[in-house]
Amino acid sequence: MKFELTILGSNSALPTSKRFPTAQVLNVLERFFLIDCGEGTQMQLKKFRVPMSRINHVFISHLHGDHFFGLIGLISSFSLQGRTNDLHIYAHSKLEKIVRFQLDILDSRLSYKLIFHNIFGKEIQTLFEDDALTVQSFPLKHGVMPCVGFLFKEKQRPLHLRKEMLDFYEIPIRARHGIKLGDDYLTEEGELIANEKLTFAATPPRSYAFCTDTAYFPRIVPVIKQVDLLYHEATFLKDDEKRAKSTYHSTTKQAALIAKEAEVGQLLIGHFSARFHDLSSHLNEAREVFPNTELAEDGKVFTILNT
């Protein structure tokens, strides 16, 4: 049962030959969620063998070009491939105007339906929910508003059944779903079997938080508290803190401080400047504060295992 993140792009505004602008895909139980869509995203999807046809939800953090310039190309390619499934896009309302304008100018007729969902960005907002997953947006601190992060959280899973106890009490299949949800079991003889005799603890739900362009913003700590995996931008090295503040970005140290304060499982840092060819300083500086840090480089895959 996968909960797996693929990095499609890890650079900031300017791409390089090895690093594309921001884009990621999160695979939750074989459902694929695209997070940001910088220039060249569809090329990266093909390069890293992500099944494009299974992407039905796209989340755009804010309207700086390096986070959405790849979207119109992806939308067009979906249609050329004969897509029929609806595509849901979650973003500031201006993005719908931009995309509709582009399609109109190009006289494009899509083979599927585009459905836009407005992100307001001033508070925590539930964007998507089904029986297994909830996706929320939350405010970040950046030069363009709204700019939001995204929190992907599995819902609490059912309890595990103790097969030997089910067999011992000859519990029929029809009663087992309720037991997994916490019910006790009443035998035909009238004996009440406590649920804890029949089950053991459920697998903990997994979680991922995406915090792209933002200044150091400790207010997000309660929102992302104890997530399994955190992506946090680290555009600058720690000696460039003044520049980071003036451009509403973060340093390596600040990203690591957020991870430490939030007690997350693992930190990924990204949104690197094109002027950095060697990212070892970024990694070393972050690890000084939060040892379990990795670089979110193009093509890397990070898996949150069932525990």
Residues comprising the binding site for Zn(2+)?
62, 64, 66-67, 142, 213, 271
Look at residues 49, 4, 50, 43 and name the one whose alpha carbon lies nearest to residue 20.
Answer: 43
**Active-site residue (options: 36, 66, 228, 298):** 66
What spatial distance separates the first Cα and last Cα of the chain, rounded to whole Å?
12
Cβ proximity of 271 and 18 under 8 Å: no
Distance CA 277, CA 266 (A): 24
Q: How far apart are CA 38 and CA 141, in angstroms?
A: 20
Burial class (CB in 10 A: 0-12, 13-18, 19+), 81: exposed
Whole-angstrom distance, CA of residue 188 vs CA of residue 193 = 11
Strand 133-139, strand 125-129: pairing: antiparallel
Torsional class of 190: left (φ above 0), alpha (ψ -120 to 50), beta (otherwise):
left
Annotated binding residues = 62, 64, 66-67, 142, 213, 271
CB-based burial, 278-295: b 16+ in 10 Å, e otherwise: ebeebbebbbebbeebbb
- Tokens representing 201 are 């603890």
* Residue type, position 246, single letter: S
> Is 107 in the active site?
no
Tokens 């390596």, residue located: 252
Catalytic residues: 66
